């Protein structure tokens, strides 16, 4: 299993939110490019970059994202408000290894299948989950669909991976939802990345034991609850 540091961008800065709430910002660092560099210097080979403003329709950090892609040697997956083939193509052309799709991919399966066929093996679908239900629009809208029904549907497309975030655990550093991740790993035909609440090395080892391919971590790394070099040393490709 590989660990992937999260670089979430809001108003041009790198931030970390608690519980998916934009009103509960705990970490703010002014230079996302410097943050990305610090993670690669610690030994991480892959980064997860999200434009939070684009994801919620508040604006765009496209210039910052493109500058980050141009300045980093890491393998980077990028998401946040990506809802068109043109946006996917721009990110891939700018150097993204994979593009993360969220709201439209969940709400428009036909569009997702078309995009996955056009960009096979280059797309990751973010299935954000609260209480086993999928949420979209920057975690603001909760659907009645169970996450496993969504996973079954995603299995029909040639995706690079599915990223499942336990939003109810996000940023709280109280451990992740192992039951959720276990079920998702069992149902998914593509690699599963887990996120939300991951706090300790035991959390990471438990996810690896369940067949999770990657873990996206934010708060535990930014606060020092997890030592970056120790994590990178144990969980890199």
> Which pLDDT does position 21 carry in this prediction?
66
* 187 in a structural domain: yes
CB 51 within 8 A of CB 61: yes
Question: What's the total number of domains in the chain?
Answer: 1
> Which pLDDT does position 25 carry in this prediction?
78
Measured distance CA(205)–CA(192) in Å, rounded: 15
φ and ψ of 4, to 5 deg: -125, 110
> Which pLDDT does position 141 carry in this prediction?
58
* 234 in a structural domain: no
Query: Band of the pLDDT at 108, cuts 50, 70, 90?
Result: very high
Question: Once rounded to an integer, what is the mean pLDDT over residues 139-166?
Answer: 86
CATH number for the domain spanning 13: value is 3.20.20.70
pLDDT over 60 (residue 70)? yes
* 232 in a structural domain: no
pLDDT over 90 (residue 50)? yes
CB 162 within 8 A of CB 124: yes
Mean of the per-residue pLDDT values of the chain? 91
pLDDT over 70 (residue 139)? no
**pTM, entire model:** 0.93
Measured distance CA(122)–CA(169) in Å, rounded: 27
> Which pLDDT does position 189 carry in this prediction?
97
39 vs 56, higher pLDDT: 39
> Which pLDDT does position 17 carry in this prediction?
79
* 236 in a structural domain: no
* 148 in a structural domain: yes
> Which pLDDT does position 167 carry in this prediction?
80
pLDDT over 70 (residue 170)? no
> Which pLDDT does position 132 carry in this prediction?
78
Positions annotated as catalytic residues are: 8, 128
Percent of the chain with pLDDT over 70: 92
Q: Cα dihedral sign for 77, 168, 26, 106?
A: positive
Residue 73, class by beta-carbon neighbours within 10 Å (0-12 exposed, 13-18 middle, 19+ buried)?
exposed
Of 109, 68, 62, which Cα lies nearest the Cα of 87? 62
> Which pLDDT does position 19 carry in this prediction?
62
* 237 in a structural domain: no
Question: What is the residue range of 149's domain?
Answer: 2-227
Mean pLDDT lowest for which of 48-62, 66-80, 125-139?
Answer: 125-139
> Which pLDDT does position 207 carry in this prediction?
97
Of all residues in the chain, what percent are helix, strand and coil, respectively (each to 5)?
40, 30, 30
Buried b / exposed e along 87-124 (16+ C-beta atoms within 10 A) = bbebbbebbbbbbbbbbebbbeeeebbebbeebeebbb
* 76 in a structural domain: yes
> Which pLDDT does position 83 carry in this prediction?
93
Q: How many CA atoms lie within 13 A of 73 on its CB side?
A: 5
* 131 in a structural domain: yes
> Which pLDDT does position 15 carry in this prediction?
94
């Amino acid at each position: 299993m590989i660990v992937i540091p999260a670089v979430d961008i809001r108003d041009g800065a790198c931030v970390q939110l608690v519980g998916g709430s934009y009103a509960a910002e705990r970490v703010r660092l002014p230079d996302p490019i410097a943050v990305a560099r610090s993670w690669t210097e610690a030994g991480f080979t892959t980064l997860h970059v999200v434009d939070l403003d684009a994801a919620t329709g508040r604006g765009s950090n496209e210039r910052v994202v493109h500058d980050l892609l141009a300045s980093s040697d890491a393998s980077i997956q990028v998401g946040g408000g990506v809802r068109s083939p043109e946006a996917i193509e721009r990110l891939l052309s700018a150097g993204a290894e994979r593009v993360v799709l969220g709201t439209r991919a969940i709400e428009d399966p036909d569009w997702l299948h078309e995009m996955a066929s056009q960009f096979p093996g280059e797309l990751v679908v973010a299935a954000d989950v609260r209480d086993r239900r999928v949420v979209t629009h920057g975690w603001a809208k909760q659907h009645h669909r169970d996450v496993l029904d969504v996973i079954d549907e995603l299995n029909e497309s040639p995706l690079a991976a599915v990223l499942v975030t336990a939003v109810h655990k996000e940023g709280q550093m109280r451990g992740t939802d192992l039951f959720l991740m276990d079920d998702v790993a069992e149902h998914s035909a593509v690699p599963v990345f887990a996120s939300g609440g991951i706090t300790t090395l035991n959390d990471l080892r438990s996810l690896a034991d369940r067949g999770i391919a990657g873990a996206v971590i934010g708060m535990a790394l930014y606060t020092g609850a997890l030592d970056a070099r120790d994590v990178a040393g144990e969980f890199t490709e």
